[in-house]
Chains A and B, each alone.
Chain A
Amino acid sequence: MTTLIQYLQYLLNGITLGAIYALIALGYTMVYGILKFINFAHGDILMVGAYAGLFIFTFLLGESTNAAWMLIAFFIAMLLSMAFCALLGMFIERVAYKPLRNANRLAPLLSAIGVSFILSNGAAWLFGAQSRRFPYPFDDTPISIAGLAITPHQILTVLVSVIMMVVLTVFVNKTRMGKAMRATSLDQSTSELMGIDVNKVISLTFAIGSALAAVGGILAAFDFRVYASMGTMTGLKAFVAAVIGGIGNIQGAMLGGLLLGILESIGAPLFGIPSALRDTIAFAALIIILLVKPDGILGKNEREKV
């Protein structure tokens, strides 16, 4: 018998999962907003971020068991991994997508699939096929509040995600560069005429998206472990989240991520789906949303003009 408390527990787990999806979905949506193409390699940047975070964290930690240092080392590892992924994202854009900016729509998509393949198989080659556990930077005993079990890593996940999203919202809405990004996503050629360096804006978009993916990857690693193909499924679902919220819309990605996380967590027990088929929910949700409201929940209805 599934009780209310159990459903609240599912909801809570769903919010944590949703926060991770939202972080990753932001990268998809920002790139789509400006370049109108799906960055297939985004999911694999997430995996690179998780590996980078893991290696830097274990390197910094060494033999130390000092609680405060563990937490500090975790945040340093996260920041360094973000920086690394931002550079990687910019590099990939420069090498694999920039030459194709004026090509057929299929071309960058195929190129992105290629990049994704190179990254995931390269990681499998370098780091082996076995998955690794990401050590918790603190004691991860669940805290019991009113019958709900909340683990500290869930609190950390939600906290970090909220901070990242607030920073991003402020950046996009309040700064000069953010304004340039919004202008570029509205109309690329006009913004160029207005003196905006579009190439710089696109590089920055990839950098920010990839840095957020790195955070998402590290946070996801607590739940899913670190392995070479971890980005494929997580990335796909984050993309679904971006579409649900309305692709190209930053608030939409946050909302869509949260909704998908909750749906996935509650959906399986609610509809009686075996948990092995959980992934099916996300894709069913994608197909339904695309049929009912293809522009997503917060998306604007744009008609195609010839």
Chain B
Amino acid sequence: MLNFFQLIIIYAGIYALMAIGQNCITGNTGMLSLCHAGFFCIGSYATGIICKTLGLSFWFSLPVAALCSAAVGFLIGVPTLRLKGDYLCIATLGLGEIIRNIATNVNPVGMMAIPRAELFGYQFSSRNKITFIILVWCFVLIAYFLFRQLAHSRIGRAMIAVREDEVAAQSNGINVAKYKIGSFTLGAAIGGTAGCFATAYTLTVQPGSYTFMVSVMVLCMVVLGGMGNLKGVILGAFIIEFIQYFPQLVGLSSVIPAQASQIIYGLVLVIMMICRPQGILGRDNYRYGDPRSLREKIRDSFKRPSKKEA
């Protein structure tokens, strides 16, 4: 039982990283990308190859995994991001399938027994879950602060302008293509990092596990928590992972079919879109030059927003 809770926290952390990347693409810049499983796959393979085949350290593989995913994201982004929302969605879906297709054809058995991550001689093994939780959530926190700063910076405001209206953004001197490609590349890099942690935890790489379902799951986390709201996205990751492992948690995995959780994801998407399109936590109401003190901010964040959000 406790074991499963720890497992959920670890996976929620890994997926929260992915969801932060997806949020950068979908929530901030408003591009519906469906290939996060592909970036996850690239990150996992990069880690697997570096740690096992080349015998290098996990800490070296971490930036390389991010860079590899970012490079693929950039290369793919340049031609496809000129496309409008709906086309982009299909093109990225196709891309995710192509990455999986290539991975399955090149390396159908995957990789096993990848060396563990080490820090000052301490090995992060999957048996001692607590240390792994600390490792993953440290990075989630780093990503959270980095992306929060990004979202509230000049770049972040430009990205939001692109999301709200491309034509208006362009006429205000924002280089739409640059910001789109930039946010796509960043999102891809974080997706790759998540893949790196997943490999470090399971110590295996299986080409069959990077399906379209993973991309939809990540999208679901972003939609559920609130597009553009990083806290919401992390909450979404927790909820979705909880749904995923709920049958095992209550010991009913033989009664509840595996498809049930996926049907719930579908329902979440439809119902959220109809009833609460801004997600559970809603938009991130950041005020620039906020005059309130920290105490007032905390108090205000528990109050219901007075005016209806658009």
Chain A positions within 8 Å of B, measured between CB atoms, are 37-38, 95-96, 99-100, 103-111, 113-119, 121-122, 124-125, 232-233, 236, 239-240, 243, 274, 276-277, 279-280, 282-283, 286-287, 290-291, 294, 304, 306
Contacts and interface: CB of A to CB of B under 8 A. Distances in A.
Interface stretch (B5-13, B81-89, B141-149, B235-243): B81-89
B86 A109 contact: yes
Interface in B67-101: 79-80, 82-83, 85-87, 89-91, 93-95, 97-98, 101
A162 B288 CA distance: 61
A195 to B, nearest CB: 29
B257 A100 contact: no
A141 to B, nearest CB: 34
B177 interface: no
B269 A117 contact: yes
A111 B262 CA distance: 14
B55 interface: no
Given A103-B277, A110-B223, A117-B262, 19 more contacts: A103-B273, A106-B30, A110-B32, A110-B273, A113-B34, A113-B219, A113-B266, A113-B269, A114-B266, A117-B216, A125-B260, A236-B90, A274-B105, A276-B105, A283-B95, A287-B80, A287-B94, A290-B80, A306-B167
B269 A114 contact: yes
Contact of B79 (A239, A276, A291): A291
Interface of B: 26, 30, 32, 34, 79-80, 82-83, 85-87, 89-91, 93-95, 97-98, 101-102, 105, 167-168, 212, 216, 219, 223, 257, 259-260, 262-263, 265-270, 272-274, 277
A239 B257 CA distance: 31
A38 B86 contact: yes
Contacts of B34: 113
Given A276-B105, A286-B90, A290-B87, A110 B259 contact: no
Given A110-B219, A115-B266, A118-B267, A304 B167 contact: yes
Given A105-B85, A107-B277, A117 B167 contact: no
A236 B93 contact: yes
B98 A280 contact: yes
A117 B34 CA distance: 14
21 contacts: A38-B90, A103-B277, A109-B85, A110-B272, A113-B219, A113-B269, A115-B266, A116-B266, A117-B216, A117-B266, A117-B269, A121-B259, A122-B263, A232-B212, A236-B90, A236-B97, A280-B98, A283-B95, A286-B94, A287-B79, A306-B168
